[in-house]
Amino acid sequence: MGTRLGDWVDQRSGWRQSWTRTFLAKIPRLSWGHTLGAATLMAVVILVVTGILLTVYYVSSPSDAHQSVQYVTNVVPLGWLIRGLHHWAASALVVLAIAHLIRVIMHGAYKYPREFTWFSGIALLLLVFAFGLTGSLLPWDQRAYWATQVRIEVFATVPFVGDWLARFLQGGEEISGLTLSRFYAAHVWLLPLLLFGLVWMHLRLVTRHGISSAPDEEPRVRRRAWRR
C-alpha cells in the first residue's frame, strides 16, 4: 500500500528524483569550512522561529514598542530565552555568512558553473544586512534610536541619492513613529518574502551544481565523474 501510494505521488510530483538529487548525491571530500553554509541556514531557521514567536507580543507603535519588548523579556514564560536566541542568532548569522563568503572565495566556488549561486549568495548577504538595519530599531530604546540614526546618516552620504534614501528610510526628515512602522513592515513582511525566495533559489543552485571542493580536489572529482 505504501509503495503504491509513493508511486502515485511520485508520478505527479517527481519527489523521488528530487530526494535523490538533494540527499543521495555524491559529494567531494569536505572540510569543516563546508559546514558554514548549513550553519548559516540553521541560524536563519532559528531567527524565523523566534521571530514569529516575538511578533505574538510585539507592538509596533512608539508608545508601546519598548514596553512590549520588556514584557516579553520579563513576563512571558521563556520570553528572555526566545529574545536572547533571536538576538544572538542574528549576530551569528552575520559572522557565519561572511565566513561562508570567505570560504567560497578561497575555494574559487564562484567560478563556472556556479556564477548564479555566487550572485544569489551576495544578494542573501545584503539581505542579512538589511535585516540587521530594520531589526535594530524595533526595541525602540535610546541605543536602538541612535544606532539607527548613525546608520541612516551613512546612507545619506551615498552620492546623488543619499538625501532621498535617508528621507525614504525615515519616512521624513527625522526618525519617528513612521520610521518604526516602515522598519517593522520591512523586517516582518517584505524582507522575509525576499529571503525565502533567495534561499530557495540558492539551495536549488547548490543542488544542481553540487558542493564545490577545494581547488586541488576539483580536477580529481571531475576526472572521476568523466570516467563514469
What is the tens place of the pLDDT at every residue in 177-225? 999 999 999 999 999 999 999 999 999 898 888 777 666 655 554 555 4
Question: Contact at 8 Å (CB) between 134 and 187?
Answer: yes
**Average pLDDT value for the chain:** 89
Residue 178 in any domain: the answer is: yes
b (16+ CB within 10 A) / e for 9-18: eeeeeeeeee
Over 90: is that where the pLDDT of 1 sits?
Answer: no
Residue 154 in any domain: the answer is: yes
Residue 47 in any domain: the answer is: yes
Report H helices in 137-190: 142-155, 162-170, 177-185
Average of pLDDT values for 13-26? 73
pLDDT attached to residue 226: 45
Domain span holding position 135:
33-214
Q: Where does the pLDDT of residue 48 fall: very low under 50, low under 70, confident under 90, or very high at 90 and above?
A: very high
Residue 69 in any domain: the answer is: yes
Q: Where does the pLDDT of residue 18 fall: very low under 50, low under 70, confident under 90, or very high at 90 and above?
A: confident
Average of pLDDT values for 157-167? 94
C-alpha distance from residue 68 to each of 52, 95, 113 (Å): 15, 28, 48
pLDDT attached to residue 5: 83
* Total of domains in the chain: 1
Residue 9 in any domain: the answer is: no
Residue 14 in any domain: the answer is: no
Question: Contact at 8 Å (CB) between 27 and 90?
Answer: no
Residue 68 in any domain: the answer is: yes
Residue 6 in any domain: the answer is: no
Sign of the Cα torsion 149, 151, 157, 158 reads: negative
Which CATH number goes with the domain that contains 166?
1.20.810.10
C-alpha distance from residue 140 to each of 156, 176, 211 (Å): 21, 10, 42
